[in-house]
């Protein structure tokens, strides 16, 4: 790894100023789990690394019925997984954050670092989009808010401008009828990172759904909202045939990646199967009886 200067600002304003002072030469350090690997492999070159480690205001999880869930960008995965408001109001996030990576990464890696790195082969992106999350970004021109859906714009690319820092993720309050579901698929049990994932958030009524968010992650360069399948699933009587048809729509609309972990055809097949299954399970149907 090339040598670099490690700066530890004590305030957010100082962190933003330090990034501004060094322009393209500087980058942000959250937990370092992705950044240090990338610097060692010379995928990222930085002469100055600005650590957010001392900024306690960027850590923690809080909930209010009006605002929803606030997750500080520097909160590690394990802390989100065990946070009481997450269990009480967003059990799907507790499931997701307790199941990703391995114990070391869950205790060192932060949610901010995860979404800012914008690696497609990760878990939170699709589920946060399905839950309607927004991100709060601080920079030299003040603060701005962006839907999570618009934050990751491409493979390893976000909407962050130079000198900006992700400070919070806000997940809106769920209605009592809203339920989230998440399924991740691994290529082999020995791998940590998902090769595909499916996030489904539905607003339930008797034998139908009033609102549906269906987002595919990891199999695609950027988490993809399946708008046509969402519209198809809204208001129709729930059945295994409905799950099958929706999964077919997802397979037709998917924009899959091909890489060493799986080609486009493989990813389309597993996304289709996982979508059918997650819809059936969310509807309380026995997916194994599907034709």
Ligand X SMILES: Cc1cc2nc3c(=O)[nH]c(=O)nc-3n(C[C@H](O)[C@H](O)[C@H](O)COP(=O)(O)OP(=O)(O)OC[C@H]3O[C@@H](n4cnc5c(N)ncnc54)[C@H](O)[C@@H]3O)c2cc1C
Q: What residue ranges bind ligand X (CB under 6 A)?
A: 27-35, 52, 73, 100-101, 105, 109-110, 112-114, 116-117, 122-124, 160, 165-166, 192-193
Q: How far is the CB of 89 from ligand X (least distance, A)?
A: 21
- By C-beta, is 163 or 174 nearer to ligand X? 163
Question: Closest Cα partner for 118 from 168, 82, 69, 152?
Answer: 152
- CB-based contacts of 289, cutoff 8 Å, min separation 6: 240
Burial 147-161 (b: 16+ CB within 10 A, else e): ebbebbeeebebebe
79, 97 contact by CB (below 8 A): no
Residue at token pair 């839907």: 147
Q: How far is the CB of 57 from ligand X (least distance, A)?
A: 12
Between strands 48-51 and 5-7, the pairing is parallel
Q: How far is the CB of 234 from ligand X (least distance, A)?
A: 29
What Rg, from alpha-carbon coordinates, does the chain have? Answer: 19
- By C-beta, is 18 or 247 nearer to ligand X? 18
Q: How far is the CB of 200 from ligand X (least distance, A)?
A: 18
55 vs 104: CA distance, rounded Å? 21
- By C-beta, is 28 or 220 nearer to ligand X? 28
Q: How far is the CB of 77 from ligand X (least distance, A)?
A: 6
- By C-beta, is 97 or 209 nearer to ligand X? 97
- By C-beta, is 164 or 204 nearer to ligand X? 164
């Amino acid at each position: 790894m090339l040598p670099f200067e490690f700066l530890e600002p004590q305030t957010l304003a100082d962190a933003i100023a330090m990034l501004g002072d060094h322009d393209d030469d500087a980058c942000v350090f959250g937990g370092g789990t992705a950044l240090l690997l990338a610097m060692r492999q010379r995928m990222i070159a930085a002469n100055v690394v600005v650590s957010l480690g001392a900024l306690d205001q960027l850590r923690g999880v809080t909930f209010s019925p009006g605002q929803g869930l606030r997750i500080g960008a520097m909160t590690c995965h394990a802390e989100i997984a065990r946070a009481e408001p997450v269990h009480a109001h967003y059990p799907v996030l507790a499931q997701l954050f307790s199941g990703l990576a391995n114990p070391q990464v869950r205790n060192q890696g932060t949610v901010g670092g995860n979404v800012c790195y914008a690696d497609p082969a990760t878990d939170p992106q699709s589920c946060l989009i399905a839950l309607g999350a927004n991100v709060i970004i601080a920079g030299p021109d003040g603060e701005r808010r962006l839907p999570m859906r618009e934050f990751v714009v491409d493979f390893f690319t976000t909407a962050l401008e130079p000198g900006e820092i992700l400070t919070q993720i806000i997940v809106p309050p769920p209605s009592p009828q809203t339920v989230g579901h998440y399924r991740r698929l691994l290529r082999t049990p020995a791998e940590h990172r998902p090769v595909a994932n499916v996030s489904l958030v539905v607003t339930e009524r008797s034998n139908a759904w009033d609102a549906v968010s269906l987002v595919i992650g990891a199999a695609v360069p950027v988490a993809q909202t399946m708008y046509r399948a969402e519209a198809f699933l809204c208001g129709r009587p729930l059945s295994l045939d409905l799950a099958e048809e929706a999964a077919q729509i997802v397979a037709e609309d998917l924009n899959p990646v091909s890489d060493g972990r799986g080609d486009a055809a493989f990813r389309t097949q597993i996304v289709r199967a996982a979508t059918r299954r997650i819809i059936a399970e969310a509807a309380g149907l026995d997916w194994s009886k599907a034709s």
